[in-house]
A and B are shown apart, each in its own frame.
Chain A
Amino acid sequence: MKPLFRSFSMFILQIARDRMLYAVCISPVLAGLFFRFGIPYIETLLCSTFQETSILKEYYLLFDLFLCTLTPFLFCFSASMVVLTEHDENMTRYLAVTPVGKKGYLISRFLFPAAISFIVSMLLLQVFSLTVWHASMMLIVCLLGSLLCVATSLLVVGLSRNRVEGMAVTKLSGMVLMGLIVPFFVISKVQYLFFFLPSFWLAKLSRDGNYFLLVPSAAASLIWIFLLYRRSEKKLA
């Protein structure tokens, strides 16, 4: 376990040197403040302008979901950028033959940040949420949000040969989070076309409050992680 923590501390030092760590720490708080105080204010303005009783209120849960996936997304995004850089500079080959190993390397780069993000997401949601959350649902959604972002980062690392392709895949990987909006805007059965997106099930689970949806939600994330982990591991060889 000690080599993994060492590898993780190397990663933290690297993103602190690049100032990415500060961005990862500050941005979710700023977003939380905006969602908590800015969105209700905008809602009041919109309602008075358009003479409606509510416009954004029914999407407050969507803002909460974005808030809960923001920290893991940023943390895992910076991790994938570090992995791409280390891969291009052949650092990963050297790390793979140290006691860290390939598996340990990927765990220290993706799972550790996701675990920290999970705790931070819980705190952020507790402080800045716009809707009322049951403790168990909050725990599940934050956990699934972190898993979703691990899958997204593995997608970037697994599908790209170098950092240029990595940036191109990163642009596309944002689409994985777009599944969050589907259950809010596509009410018909057409929404099930997005069944392969873990974010779709995550949004559906929190919107419907049906704990049974935890199964497809976790399964979708784990399948993505399993497939992309194998691909990323091969790449590090």
Chain B
Amino acid sequence: MRAKSLFLGDIRFQIRYGFYFLYLFLSVLYITVLYLLPITWREPGAILMIFSDPAAMGLYFMGAIVLFEKSERVLNSIAVSPVRPLEYVISKLGSVGLISTAAAVAIGMSGQVISNPFQFAAAVFLCSCLFSAAGLIIACKITTLNQFIIATIPAELLINLPAVAWLFGYRKSWLLLHPGVCMMKLCSSGSFSAPALLLLICWTTAFTCYAVSTVSKMLKSVGGINL
């Protein structure tokens, strides 16, 4: 019940601050660009667009969301409420994942790159949760937006570079262990789908657990004292 209320609250927050409008606009823009590309480039183009933006939106926005909650004393209220860190994290990851998946499915369907809709949606949702968890871990430890932007650069490079290298033909077998490559494998519906899904679930779970522990520490220290 608490998790549901948090989740709905986060969705309302995201609607109010224009996330849905922004991704509606960006999805239309990406679809337009996709139609301008030659047909052979559409699948890698769509996967690259989805991976670098809707799926990664949590890493971009989480700093602003958490800092805003800190400045509005929302976290202070959450800290003294019965809400558990896991519920807080799940609500954030789920609500951001919802927009990511909706935008990705819209782009994927328009670009006609989806062959297995369930697999595609699951891959984008899990990858989005992973990016959001990484963003949440960083956001808990910073105090300004500029700090957040600088701190996300290594995370972005670690998550993006191997996956983009894979997409552009650097196909070493060890790269299949990388979560970004797993997402791309699932989106392109080739072989290795089941192990890729399993690996992506493992990566996302690991990042979520770490995010829960970081949020737990943050909630114990909001207001300047350690509870």
Residues of A participating in the B interface, judged by any CB pair closer than 8 Å: 14-15, 18-20, 23, 78, 81-82, 84-85, 88-89, 161-169, 171-172, 175
In the complex, given contacts A20-B150, A167-B145, A171-B60, what are 6 additional A-B residue pairs having Cβ atoms less than 8 angstroms apart? Answer: A82-B145, A88-B68, A162-B68, A163-B67, A164-B65, A168-B61
Alpha-carbon distance A172/B150, docked complex (angstroms): 20
Total chain B interface residues with beta-carbon distance under 8 A: 23
Q: Do B147 and A19 have beta carbons less than 8 Å apart?
A: yes
Interface hub of A20, A78, A81, A168 (most chain B Cβ within 10 A): A168
**Nearest-CB residue, chain B, relative to A22:** B150
Q: Do B150 and A163 have beta carbons less than 8 Å apart?
A: no
13 A-B pairs within 8 Å (CB atoms) are namely A14-B146, A18-B144, A18-B150, A19-B150, A78-B146, A88-B71, A164-B17, A164-B64, A167-B61, A167-B145, A171-B26, A172-B22, A172-B25
Q: Which of B18, B65, B146 contacts A81 (CB 8 A)?
A: B146
Query: Which residues of chain B have C-beta atoms less than 8 A from A18's C-beta?
Result: 144, 146-147, 150
Alpha-carbon distance A163/B65, docked complex (angstroms): 8
Query: Which residues of chain B have C-beta atoms less than 8 A from A23's C-beta?
Result: 150, 153
Looking at chain B's contact residues, is the secondary structure mostly helix, strand, loop, or mixed? helix
Alpha-carbon distance A14/B18, docked complex (angstroms): 28
Q: Do A84 and B145 have beta carbons less than 8 Å apart?
A: yes
Query: Which residues of chain B have C-beta atoms less than 8 A from A81's C-beta?
Result: 144-146, 149
Query: Which residues of chain B have C-beta atoms less than 8 A from A161's C-beta?
Result: 17
Interface hub of A23, A84, A85 (most chain B Cβ within 10 A): A85
Alpha-carbon distance A14/B147, docked complex (angstroms): 10
Interface hub of B26, B68, B144, B146 (most chain A Cβ within 10 A): B146
CB distance from A201 to the nearest CB of B (A): 22
